[in-house]
Structure 1
Amino acid sequence: MARFLNNYLYLAPLFACIFNTISFSAEPAKPAADFFEKEVKPILQAHCFSCHGAEKKVKGGLDMSSREALLKGSDNGAVVSLEKPDTSMMIDAIRHGELKMPPKGKLPLSQIEILEKWIKSGVPYSAGKAVAKQHGPPKVDEDARNFWSYKAVKNPTIPKVKDQSWVKNPIDAFILSKLEQNQLTPALPAEKTALLRRLYFNLIGLPPSIEETESFLKDTSPDAYEKRVDLLLNSRHYGENWARHWLDLVRYAETNSFERDGAKPNAYKYRDYVIQSFNSDKPYNQFIKEQLAGDEIEKVSRDSLVATAYYRLGIWDDEPADRELAYFDQLDDIVSTTGQTFLGTTIGCARCHDHKIDPFPQKDYYRFMAFFHGVNGYSNGPASQRVVDGDTQDLKGLVGTGRRPDLKKLQDLEIKAKEHERASNDVNRQIGRIEDDFRAKLPGGQNDDFKQDVHKPILFEKHLGKLVTAEEYKRWKDLIAKREELKKTRPLIRETSLAVTEQGPKARETFILTRGMPAAKGDKVEPGFPTVMITNNSPEPKIPDPDANALSSGRRAVLADWIASDANPLTARVMANRLWQFQFGRGIVRSSSNFGYMGTPPTHPELLDYLASQLVANGWKIKPLQRMILTSNAFKMGTQVSPQAMMKDPENDLLSHFDLRRLTAEELRDSILGVSGNLNLKKVDGPSVYPTIPREVLAGQSVPGSGWGKSTPEEAASRSVFVFIKRSLALPILQVFDAPDPDSPCPSRFTTTQPAQALALINSEFASEQAKVLAADVAKKSPSSPSDKVQEILRRTLQRQPKQDEIDRGTTFIKDSMNKDSLNEEDAFRRFCLIAFSLNEFIFLN
């Protein structure tokens, strides 16, 4: 057995995936052949044939290209037993028993069950031999176009189930049907307080207040839950929360990365655009078009131009060794991000060669890239910004077609602008005189340090009363504050924003680049969609003739129309899957940005197509689909797992219960601020805020504090979505709780458990400060009894009435802290607040 195991483990990483074609020579029983074609063959193609197909030498001697070859077994004997199929070595392997196939990870339960059914029914094949394609790029043929994600979306029939009483809406029917097929039952509903907390965090990213929880518990009307769903969907905090999901996908950050990590001017306007789009329930197809071609669509607006900042969010090297290569790296970032985010494809892998896995020849990569080849490379200058609004601005960018300006309004604005400029110059002169006088008195090294703004207040305070008077220092601070206020109140004549620009009406010629190198040009290509997706319903693109007066080629609008088309088989599926993912913690397709051969197949393919169909049928509006998901009984399930489900479905692919999840980094920070009474919910848009970062963290920069501004305490306590995102300097509390790396798209965040997280909730400056605020606020509002204060702290953090034993334990902790550790009452309660922040019930959604 040991020798067989060693050989079998060598047989094949079943996850190594190269697409294969099938040829037939005989006609078996049709039901068996159909079952093989539709259910079994895709699994073998994705996970088996690359090592166990018609290679010159199959691995381990196991050839699965035909029934006859499979029954011959491997070098070490039979793999399938027709007499006793349950004892088959292949079943043991795919179950990850003594053998473990695939070695990189277990197949989904649904696929295991298909293979087991196939083995127990005698391993029927389609007629003849399943011929695995020899080494080389995957072929783009009808087999490729019949892969599940490339086929047209079809609205499926809603399945019939035995327990019709559990079906609140069609979603439940799809879930329950799978459970009943596997002799499983759905978990009992979650408790009302747990369900409400889940709903609040999933929709607005904030916990319910005690008052909101109590009013929900008291509401006995049959539609109490539905009313709360509608309330939250219409909350402005909904957009703030769901924008964060989208910002992960488009690698949103406000700096460029690399050594200097300079700021991207006005990047926050894109963030505000996304928030407003979710809040207004902008149709998703319009959302796509505005980001990809907001300057080329029929109705250009301020928002559509700001949306094109999508192209400017990636990393940028301001000092590349090879500028031409750096430009193609920027285009590659756009191609990869667009493919992953909107289409769930990894077409970016075909830059240097044909895709090794999916049916994307290298030519397809460059055809796709050609849509973007007129875009100017990013820079800090006008090539990356444009006027997006103003009385005289022609938004379309065409000569002679702008709006007529309101001359009187324009004159008034110009007068105010000149007054503002004079006031700003006067303040700057006064600041300069004070700083020049002070710097002249500083010793050499400190004189150099004073050139950096971050060091100025430190040096002023260090020499206060010696080199500078208290009056002069106060005047300097007042002038600095006035200068900042003037910056915020500058009269708007023309608003600029980060946005896409092109070199003109004619895009650059595009060539296939050998190994992705600009110096090695191959054949010339024209803009085109991925070949595997070109059918009668989706023909080759028709590129418009260039308009001599246009500022761009119009190519991106053609691509945007195709991606946002009702007929595109990927777009609606990918977005519907993301909506499910952000409600249930994982997608129906777990690999939510990879719907290709190496992606995870859908656990409920019919449900995915149903959701995609509903998204399109609702005019691509997201909120109706959200409401359907949230009001389903599937969403309301508790997290308890039955022994049967644990045995049959340990990964919960069948969704017999709701998965426990930890709060995201932003949810956790906002919750801590919220329960302490310190969260600033007044901020709704505008420039990002800069919470305090410990000096020890700033010391890790080459220039400590460089690029990190200073906000007022009130501004710094704004929601995390408004925190400035600097690629080389993350806010510690967000970083340690797995905020994404913004250098590349993040379709699904890691959830780690590490000691640094516990330390951040006990020892960090942020947690300590908020614990102090919470303790002080409770002491001010609650009676003097320690047990009453403990009760109030637990009520706030857990959003429920604490049990008496919980109050007793907290009260005992306070007494021990004061008696044994000699703490005063204020410090003892601050310590207890830190413990409350660290409770699993606070950090996790049950």
Structure 2
Amino acid sequence: MNLVLRGRTAILGAVLLAGLTLTELANAQESIDFGRQIQPIFAKRCFACHGPDKAEGGLRLNRRATATAKVDSGKQAIVPNESAQSELIHRISSGEEGERMPPEGAPLTPIQIELLKKWIDQGAVWKDHWAFEPLQDHLPPKVKNETWIANPIDSFILSQLEQNGLSPAAPLGKEALLRRVTYDLIGLPPTAAEVQAFLADSSPRAYESVVDRLLGSHHFGEHWARHWLDVVRYADTNSFERDGPKPNAWRYRDYVIRSFNLDKPYDQFIREQLAGDELPETGSDGVIATGFYRLGMWDDEPADKLLAVFDVLDDIITTTSQGFLGLTVNCARCHDHKIDPIPQQDYYSMLAFFQGITPNGNPSPNTERPIFENDAARQTYDAAVKKHQDRLNQLQASISTIENEFREKLRERQTLADQPDLDDLEYRFYRDTWQSLPDFDSIKPETVARLEKGFFDITPATREFAFGFVFTGVLKVPQDGEYTFSLDSDDGSRLIVDGQSAVVYDGIHGLGSPRTGKIRLKQGRVPIRLDYFQGPTGAKALVVKWSGPGVESRSLSAGAENGQLTSVKNRPDFAALMAAQGPTILGGERHDQYAKLTKELGEAKRHRVEAAYALCVTEVGPNPPETMLLKRGNPQSPGEKVVPAFITSLGGGTAIIPEPGPAATSSGRRLALANWIASSDNRLTARVMVNRIWQHLFGRGIVRSPNNFGLLGDRPTHPELLDWLALQLSTGGHAVPVSAKSGGAIASNNTAIGNVPWSMKRIHKLIVMSNAYRMSSQASMPVAAFSKNGMAVTDPRVVDPLNNLFWRHDMRRLSAEEIRDSILAVDGRLNPKMYGPGVFPAISDEVKAGQSEPGKGWETSSPEEQARRSIYVQVKRSLLLPILSDFDFADTDSSCAARFTTTQPTQALGMLNGAFLNQEAAEFARRLRTEAGDDVQKQVAIAYRLTLGREPDPSIIEEGLKLIESLKSKHNLTAEKALDQFCLMTLNLNEFIYLD
């Protein structure tokens, strides 16, 4: 059972860890905590038959009202204050087969039974879970040892230590502290010059000056952005077999780096990612930030297309709820959440916020937009686009004039069949069965090809029935005016001209009842699109016509005459007619003019106005489809309609969404959700974020399960501190006083860095300026015997072996990125260049051979680019850089709350034998020879100074010299090769890889 030391006395947790007897448990006065001690028993042992999905015998144990009600037998499972009268206790205590519960598996343990009895006797209190309670403004507690307090964080930590008879570990030495805070804030080792400067600075503000410098460094954003990228499952590719690229995903990564460096308020950071496109005046960041939605895995050829749509939405819900709220809302996709108070309706109410998102594509205008640095750049682009379009229209108008002239003169000589009014015509072909028009953009086509003749033509279909087409192209409009479009089809069809719906003729029906629609058009080239599907039976036909100024009811399709499908193959080719008869009918000069204009139009159409593009979210429009609750999560079994609403256990309520304006391209739903999550009143948002910051500064969070603050997540070890920090983040808090005896450790004026709401840098500074952060990782208490006979316990390694009370700082291994970046930093090759597309370090052919197409999608960057920080390395889901993968790089398939820290043979093999480490060791040796010449002792001293971040002891220098000498004398290495091997050894030292 997860019994954690908590509260003022922690009687129950302490005695259980010491070996609690049933008698002692029965006599213990500590209140039983439902969420921590009872709910997990119900969830793991009872819910299979008596939970949200099942109520055998009429008993449900997921709600107090149903758990205390009479069941089918007429008995009461739980009688508050009367465990002896409770049928639940009778059944779990029974030794009779067929009566004992649970019927399968091992019976409940005596401790579990006694816990349930005691809980019932205490009134069967079903307290709300701590995470669903509003934030409480706790005053820092009073402590005995006030001299240890540098800021209120220390009061919360020391208070619990003193209550448990513990003292904090000794403070860390200056060199080790500088190394710790430098890595924790910027992910790089301190330089030798920085170490020397800090050691030489004896002023009270020496450490604070270092903290301010690090928080102001651009490396801060590079380091802390990587922590956030883990949470949002960042990768540059889609996964699955092809693992194709996500175009311009790197702009999102750069956005996160900039946001941390600028100390963008966290509430704004949330709003931009969830609804940046719906915010006013966010500039390009508002578009780039919504790349958040596109970062997950995407299967471009799913077996079940409809299910794949809801899988993508589920990924968004999972990442949003876990990343921002620390809740596993995704567990309610198929049924009510089995543990947390999240009904299935809450899941689909949350899904409704995202229902209008356009499907992924690669590449696709749904997922990419042009971005601009400022309004002037946007205006320049818009002007260039308009100028380009005007040029196309002018050319088309001139060409149309000559073509009409040619037609008129040709009609005088012969009857000319319908000539194509369409240009640049392409089709996408689909094989499937539909009863109504689907969203073809969310489906992968079987074939994409051009239609050379300039007519809508369904004869390229490769099957007789059950297929679909999407035609796209350009309609050549001869002059301004209102045009009438006629659409007849067997079966469903939809015609869109210049972005306007002209005619829709949906469903399964036959030919013979055309529908018409009118649209006003400007002279020139306008986009046209036609969607069509053919049902599983019947004929197949498509007839599209138009008429208007300069157009006398001409066909746009291959057509169907008398119910029989015809092809354009035997129709006159206008281009061939013009080439053959143009010079004669128009005259040589006029024909040459036509040829010149046609050539210019072709060249102009191939030209695109240049712009930077970003991966982003778009919506189908201001009116998204309705959302239905899916029974058992099955898209084929829709249930009742749901509307956008907030999570019930966090206050709930239907979202109030303003009516979209006439020019709106989205529904505004995502902004409503973003505002709710980013509100200072939200009970989880600030708690989750300050816990993440604490996690990366202390090695684990105040809540050890950063993505799960629910009932099966870990409870906070210091709930009052968590709430205090959360309020400091969301409101800016109050000025944080510094003890007069602390020497002004936070600021010389005894105040914090400012009362700035949602400032993440402020929370970083508060934490690293505390004495709790500056403790050593070593136990300083003497070992004493552990006893239950009342003897004082003084050894924290016995009282709190997991360091739940933070009596010391946990040692940690550097992350994968920190290891690689540190190697590049100490050998002098680290390239400080920021931002831009991902880089591709060299990967061996043996590693690439594991791909379905070895080497596909992995280039090799220049040596200078390869030496950039690891955050800029391309994250290809199917091919991770080996040194990053070996040292537990984040799982990119889903939100990564905390990385594993493993010890495995591939780490040592790669660090000793890998090409990268041996190359960098040689670079390190080259640096040492440059800085120390041929003085081997100086070379060794500089090497240790750079790798260990401290002045080396004479003994370790002596060991290094002996190693070099041994490599030369015993292994016949040259002085150069011996130094290379010595450098390889220093890069493999535990002290280089681990952080005190």
Do Structure 1 and Structure 2 share a fold, with TM-score over 0.5?
yes
- Tell me, yes or no, if the aligned pair for 1:375 and 1:500 is still in contact at 8 Å: yes
- Which piece of structure 1 moves more, 689-698 or 62-71? 62-71
- Tell me, yes or no, if the aligned pair for 1:262 and 1:707 is still in contact at 8 Å: yes
**Aligned partner of 1:706 among 841, 849, 856:** 856
Structure 1 segment 568-587 matched on structure 2, within 5 A:
568-587=682-701
What's the counterpart of residue 20 of structure 1? none
- Tell me, yes or no, if the aligned pair for 2:384 and 2:609 is still in contact at 8 Å: no
1:504-551 CA deviation, whole Å, 9 max, x = no partner? Answer: 11111111112222111111111111111226xxx4311222334211
**Aligned partner of 1:521 among 628, 638, 655:** 638
Whole-angstrom CA distance in 1 between matches of 2:92 and 2:635? 47
What's the counterpart of residue 181 of structure 1? 163
1:637-687 CA deviation, whole Å, 9 max, x = no partner? Answer: 000123411101000000000000000000000000111111111x11111
* Residues 158 and 613 of structure 1, relative CA distance in 2, 3 Å threshold: same
1:5-29 CA deviation, whole Å, 9 max, x = no partner? Answer: xxxxxxx9999xxxxxxxxxxxxxx
* Residues 14 and 407 of structure 1, relative CA distance in 2, 3 Å threshold: closer
What's the counterpart of residue 540 of structure 1? 654
How far the C-alpha of 1:58 sits from its partner, in A, is 13
What's the counterpart of residue 232 of structure 1? 214
What's the counterpart of residue 130 of structure 1? 124
- Tell me, yes or no, if the aligned pair for 2:283 and 2:374 is still in contact at 8 Å: no
* Residues 195 and 369 of structure 1, relative CA distance in 2, 3 Å threshold: same
What's the counterpart of residue 985 of structure 2? 835
1:192-211 CA deviation, whole Å, 9 max, x = no partner? Answer: 11100000000000000111
| Percent identical residues | 48
Q: Quick check: 1:670 aligned with 2:821?
A: yes
Whole-angstrom CA distance in 2 between matches of 1:100 and 1:758? 46
- Tell me, yes or no, if the aligned pair for 2:277 and 2:290 is still in contact at 8 Å: yes
Q: Quick check: 1:315 aligned with 2:315?
A: no
Q: Quick check: 1:744 aligned with 2:894?
A: yes
- Which piece of structure 1 moves more, 828-837 or 224-233? 828-837
How far the C-alpha of 1:584 sits from its partner, in A, is 0.5
- Which piece of structure 1 moves more, 811-820 or 782-791? 782-791
What's the counterpart of residue 655 of structure 1? 806
What's the counterpart of residue 722 of structure 1? 872
Whole-angstrom CA distance in 1 between matches of 2:870 and 2:675? 34
What's the counterpart of residue 326 of structure 2? 344
What's the counterpart of residue 386 of structure 1? 369
* Residues 271 and 597 of structure 1, relative CA distance in 2, 3 Å threshold: same
What's the counterpart of residue 509 of structure 1? 626
Give the alignment's TM-score, normalised by structure 2.
Answer: 0.65
- Tell me, yes or no, if the aligned pair for 2:140 and 2:156 is still in contact at 8 Å: yes
Q: State the secondary structure of the residue aligned to 2:354.
A: coil
Structure 1 segment 551-700 matched on structure 2, within 5 A:
551-618=665-732, 619-641=757-779, 642=781, 643=783, 644-681=795-832, 683-700=833-850
What's the counterpart of residue 366 of structure 1? 348
How far the C-alpha of 1:744 sits from its partner, in A, is 0.8
Whole-angstrom CA distance in 2 between matches of 1:675 and 1:13? 43
Give the alignment's TM-score, normalised by structure 1.
Answer: 0.76
Q: Quick check: 1:170 aligned with 2:320?
A: no
What's the counterpart of residue 260 of structure 2? 278
* Residues 377 and 50 of structure 1, relative CA distance in 2, 3 Å threshold: closer
How far the C-alpha of 1:575 sits from its partner, in A, is 0.5
Q: State the secondary structure of the residue aligned to 2:726.
A: helix
What's the counterpart of residue 500 of structure 1? 617
* Structure 2 segments unaligned to the other structure (5+ residues): 5-25, 51-56, 62-76, 96-108, 392-606, 733-756, 784-794
1:582-633 CA deviation, whole Å, 9 max, x = no partner? Answer: 1101000000110000000000000000000000122111111111101000
Q: State the secondary structure of the residue aligned to 1:232.
A: helix
**Aligned partner of 1:734 among 884, 887, 895:** 884
Count of residues in Structure 1 that have an aligned counterpart in Structure 2: 682
Whole-angstrom CA distance in 1 between matches of 2:926 and 2:375? 53
How far the C-alpha of 1:301 sits from its partner, in A, is 1.4
**Aligned partner of 1:335 among 292, 299, 317:** 317
Amino acid across the alignment from 1:335: I
Amino acid across the alignment from 2:703: V
Q: Quick check: 1:824 aligned with 2:974?
A: yes
Provide the aligned C-alpha RMSD in A. Answer: 3.4
- Tell me, yes or no, if the aligned pair for 1:167 and 1:633 is still in contact at 8 Å: yes
Amino acid across the alignment from 2:159: S
How far the C-alpha of 1:65 sits from its partner, in A, is 7.2
Amino acid across the alignment from 1:233: L
The structure whose residues are more often helix, as a share, is 1
How far the C-alpha of 1:410 sits from its partner, in A, is 9.6
Whole-angstrom CA distance in 1 between matches of 2:765 and 2:247? 37
How far the C-alpha of 1:807 sits from its partner, in A, is 1.1
Whole-angstrom CA distance in 1 between matches of 2:640 and 2:659? 22
Whole-angstrom CA distance in 2 between matches of 1:58 and 1:13? 24
- Tell me, yes or no, if the aligned pair for 1:51 and 1:58 is still in contact at 8 Å: no
- Tell me, yes or no, if the aligned pair for 1:53 and 1:63 is still in contact at 8 Å: no
Q: State the secondary structure of the residue aligned to 1:382.
A: coil
* Residues 699 and 126 of structure 1, relative CA distance in 2, 3 Å threshold: closer
Amino acid across the alignment from 1:772: A
- Which piece of structure 1 moves more, 227-236 or 618-627? 618-627
What's the counterpart of residue 759 of structure 1? 909
Amino acid across the alignment from 2:940: V
- Tell me, yes or no, if the aligned pair for 1:52 and 1:58 is still in contact at 8 Å: no
Amino acid across the alignment from 2:775: M
What's the counterpart of residue 544 of structure 2? none
* Residues 318 and 235 of structure 1, relative CA distance in 2, 3 Å threshold: same
Amino acid across the alignment from 2:882: P
Amino acid across the alignment from 2:770: S
Whole-angstrom CA distance in 2 between matches of 1:68 and 1:497? 62
Whole-angstrom CA distance in 2 between matches of 1:697 and 1:14? 45
The structure that has the greater radius of gyration is 2
* Residues 242 and 298 of structure 1, relative CA distance in 2, 3 Å threshold: same
How far the C-alpha of 1:786 sits from its partner, in A, is 2.5
- Tell me, yes or no, if the aligned pair for 2:36 and 2:711 is still in contact at 8 Å: no
Whole-angstrom CA distance in 2 between matches of 1:410 and 1:740? 45
Q: Quick check: 1:48 aligned with 2:165?
A: no
* Residues 227 and 390 of structure 1, relative CA distance in 2, 3 Å threshold: closer
How far the C-alpha of 1:290 sits from its partner, in A, is 0.3
**Aligned partner of 1:549 among 651, 654, 663:** 663
- Tell me, yes or no, if the aligned pair for 1:386 and 1:499 is still in contact at 8 Å: yes
* Residues 13 and 671 of structure 1, relative CA distance in 2, 3 Å threshold: closer
How far the C-alpha of 1:839 sits from its partner, in A, is 0.7
Amino acid across the alignment from 1:40: D
- Tell me, yes or no, if the aligned pair for 2:381 and 2:611 is still in contact at 8 Å: no
- Tell me, yes or no, if the aligned pair for 2:36 and 2:715 is still in contact at 8 Å: no
How far the C-alpha of 1:833 sits from its partner, in A, is 1.1
* Residues 362 and 102 of structure 1, relative CA distance in 2, 3 Å threshold: same
How far the C-alpha of 1:702 sits from its partner, in A, is 2.5
What's the counterpart of residue 438 of structure 2? none
What's the counterpart of residue 797 of structure 1? 947
* Residues 126 and 173 of structure 1, relative CA distance in 2, 3 Å threshold: farther
* Residues 409 and 557 of structure 1, relative CA distance in 2, 3 Å threshold: closer
- Tell me, yes or no, if the aligned pair for 2:157 and 2:806 is still in contact at 8 Å: yes
1:95-147 CA deviation, whole Å, 9 max, x = no partner? Answer: xxxx99799xxxxxxxxxxx9xx99xxx976767528xxxxxxxxxxx57x31
Whole-angstrom CA distance in 1 between matches of 2:44 and 2:840? 53
1:244-267 CA deviation, whole Å, 9 max, x = no partner? Answer: 000000000000101111111111
- Which piece of structure 1 moves more, 317-326 or 279-288? 317-326
* Residues 128 and 696 of structure 1, relative CA distance in 2, 3 Å threshold: closer
* Residues 246 and 810 of structure 1, relative CA distance in 2, 3 Å threshold: same
Amino acid across the alignment from 1:130: A
